[in-house]
Homo-oligomer: A and B are copies of this chain.
Amino acid sequence: MNYNSFNTPVSLRQMKITDVFWKKEMELVRNEVIPYQWEALNDRVEGASPSFCMRNFKIAGKMNQEKAQKGDKYVEPQYSFRGFEALPEDPNHLEEKFYGFVFQDSDFSKWIEAVGYSLTQHPDPALEKIADEAIDIVCGAQQEDGYLDTYYIINGKDKIFSNLRDHHELYCFGHLTEGAVAYYEATGKDKLLEAAKRFANYIYNYFGEEEEKCKGYPGHEIAEMALVRLYEVTGNRKYLDLSSFFIEQRGTKPYYFDSENHPDQTRKEENHLKYSYHQAHLPVREQKEAVGHAVRAVYLYSGMADLARLNEDKSMYEACESLWEDMVEKKMYITGGIGSTHMGEAFSFAFDLPNDTAYAETCASIGLVFFARRMLEIKPKAKYADVMERALYNGVLSGMALDGKSFFYVNPLEVNPIACYKDERKHHVKPIRQKWFGCACCPPNLARLLSSIGSYAFTESEKTLFVHLYMGACLTKKIGNQDIEVTIQSKFPWEGHVAISVRAKDTDFELALRIPGWCNGYQISDLEQFEIRKEDGYLYLKKNWLEEEHIQISFQMEPVLVAARTEVRETVGKVALMRGPIVYCLEEVDNGKDLHLLSVEATKSITLIDKKIEHESVKAITAFGKRTLKTEENGLYQPFKEKQSKEVCLTYVPYYVWANRGENEMQVWTRVE
């Protein structure tokens, strides 16, 4: 481990994203998702089932006030602990109690996190005022002792931390902390950060190695990485220690979750998902295979990578590397989708990557991006950035419609709409994006990722700026006492040209450029003027910088037919089409019904064309293909005749834009002639 290579994200306040492609996504989040989400948090979206999120905080706050006023005379109300409190039959007569999922608090936290990031790129006093008021409401619910989870505040605090496996308290804490740090870093306002710290202190006093402390850990991971962020922003080592405790404790025997009394005892003891679903089947350093609920898994691995870096922990990094390799070499779709089965929203076994029943949750690809960026922070290897880029341009972006108004949880690689309605095995697959979800996980997760996208593109160490993704941006960086400036212009992902200007005179600034794995060749202007080092797919450039230097880069970006390893049964005899980081697919709207009857001719030419999908200008691709002629004879089964087909022109569009032109068939993998 070369600790000198450690690097961390460039602060969003040190950059302005100017990229055409990503700026548009950020603006969608700012203009569509964040306002919509605020309405949703306040139960004001017509036709959508209420969130109850802000309502729960208000009720908890009101209970706090009553308690303060009545003192000893205050009697805690008694409610049930059912994990999900549904709307009563008459929605106009709500009781003063908790409604919604146990993790409903996190909806606010994800929103405030996205708001924070957005404010760094686009100051908006009106939005900031709404956010401040929301923070007041949330902080009003916090208990004197620091505890802050409305489900238990409202239902009775005697039960707190009694069901870590299922009840998401530590998950809500994690999101609260992520949101608080983001908002503090964006605005400098620390009210929510202070609340998160007080809750973190409470948790620190409750859990830990000391004999009297609870030995539990989160059922749904995220607190691990959130505590690291809290440590990094506060410098208080105990938050790092608590994260370490949660991570090291996980999967040790006797299994902590077995000591809990779970109201739902229907989960079968024999169920092999029982522990692995939570990545709690083995101590984390012994885990070599990515298993269980995919989102939880990558959240855990992200926390592990954080610890590996901060504790300079070689064996933890090796554990992360094993899990990484298992995941990206055996269990990842070409789109960067992970978690191929809807049973437990989980990883399936190695190379089991069915296209039509895929789960590939948007949040899981987002978590994969988290993990990848953290692996890059430890050691900048292009292989991590390649996967991060793959997920971002494909399996993540496909989660949101081009108008930012509807969303996919599940990102299949092949869809026949009729199957989504008529085949119960595919009920999780939707042929068209949905407005919003009762369980609001993917849309707000997209919002927080997209509005902080710059921190995935660029990281820095003392003297080096790492460009992981070629995203248009203006960045500043301190080298000693000097401010240097780097400006990047790019038309990624549609063109491979990048222009970089550097103002770093009289510094020993180093520019580290990723050479994408998909790129067969590249040119850099005046390369001979630099002192060059190439390592792990990065090109490190140094020189005596003049006042302003201009660098031109051109990455080859040809359409390429791609095959999966022969172990992947579902894609044998089939190919996908990629160009640069973009995975392409066929849609019915361009290619007619029955996409399964199409094949692509590998030896013939492939042409790039410009196409508008809604208002999105994309590069589409046309290729020679064949369409198997339909059966003419009667009879479900007939003697095979020499293949009958006709020549057709196949039109491929980027995977992330699919299902923006109505409900239709789609497929990524097509038979090859």
Contacting pair B640 A561 (CB below 8 A):
yes
* A349-B419, A569-B416, A572-B596 as given contacts; A638 in contact with B563, CB under 8 Å: yes
Determine how close the nearest CB of chain B comes to the CB of A47; give it in whole angstroms: 17
CA distance A380 to B586 in the complex (A): 47
CB distance from A556 to the nearest CB of B (A): 13
B640 touches A423 (CB 8 A): no
* 8 Å CB contact of A640 from B352, B357, B562, B634: B562
Chain B residue at minimal CB-CB distance from A343: B424
Q: Given the complex of chains A and B, what is the CA–CA distance between A8 and B352 in angstroms?
A: 50
User: Are B636 and A329 in touch, CB under 8 angstroms?
Assistant: yes
Contact A418 B560 (CB under 8 A): no
- CB < 8 Å: which of B342, B568, B576, B636 contacts A330? B636
Contact across chains for B334 and A640 when beta carbons are under 8 A apart:
no
Interface residues of A in 550-593 (CB under 8 A from B): 560-569, 572-573, 575-576
Chain B proximity mask over A594-626: 1 for CB below 8 Å, otherwise 0: 101101001100000000000000000000000
Identify the closest chain B residue to A575 (Cβ): B640
Please name all residues of chain B whose beta carbon is closer than 8 Å to the beta carbon of A357 when the two chains form the complex. 425
Quickly give the copy total for this chain.
2
B contact residues around A646 at 8 Å (CB): none
Q: When the two chains form the complex, which single residue of B352, B424, B643 contacts A344, counting CB atoms closer than 8 Å?
A: B424
Residue-wise interface mask of A (391-434) relative to B, using a CB-CB cutoff of 8 A (1 in contact, 0 not) = 00000000000000000000000001011001111000000000
Decide: A640 near B602, CB < 8 A? Known: A567-B631, A628-B566, A635-B329: yes
Q: Return the chain B residue nearest A342 by Cβ.
A: B425
Q: CB distance A348 to B563 under 8 Å?
A: no
Residues of chain B with a CB closer than 8 A to A348's CB: 422-423
A422→B566 contact, CB < 8 A: no
CB-defined contacts of A671 to chain B, threshold 8 Å: 572-573
CB distance from A521 to the nearest CB of B (A): 13
Also in contact, A638 and B594, with CB within 8 A (given A349-B418, A573-B573): no
CB neighbours of A594 from chain B (8 A): 566-567
Closest B residue to A558 by beta carbon equals B639
Contact of A332 with B by CB under 8 A: yes
Q: Does A328 contact B (CB under 8 A)?
A: yes
Query: Residue A3 at the B interface, CB < 8 A?
Result: no
Q: A561's closest neighbor in chain B, by CB? A: B640
Which 6 pairs, one residue from A and one from B, show the smallest C-beta to C-beta distance?
A349-B422, A343-B424, A561-B640, A563-B640, A565-B631, A569-B596
Given contacts A563-B641, A565-B635, 19 further A-B contacts (CB under 8 A): A330-B636, A332-B636, A348-B422, A348-B423, A349-B418, A352-B423, A562-B640, A563-B637, A563-B638, A564-B636, A566-B597, A566-B628, A566-B631, A567-B594, A567-B630, A572-B597, A573-B573, A573-B599, A573-B671
Chain A interface residues toward B at CB < 8 A = 273, 328-330, 332, 334, 341-344, 348-349, 352, 357, 416, 418-419, 422-425, 560-569, 572-573, 575-576, 594, 596-597, 599, 602-603, 628-631, 634-643, 671-672
Can you give 27 A-B contacts (C-beta < 8 A)? A329-B634, A332-B636, A334-B636, A341-B423, A342-B425, A348-B423, A349-B419, A349-B423, A357-B425, A416-B569, A560-B639, A561-B640, A562-B639, A563-B637, A563-B638, A563-B640, A565-B631, A565-B638, A566-B597, A566-B631, A567-B594, A569-B596, A572-B596, A573-B573, A573-B628, A573-B671, A575-B640
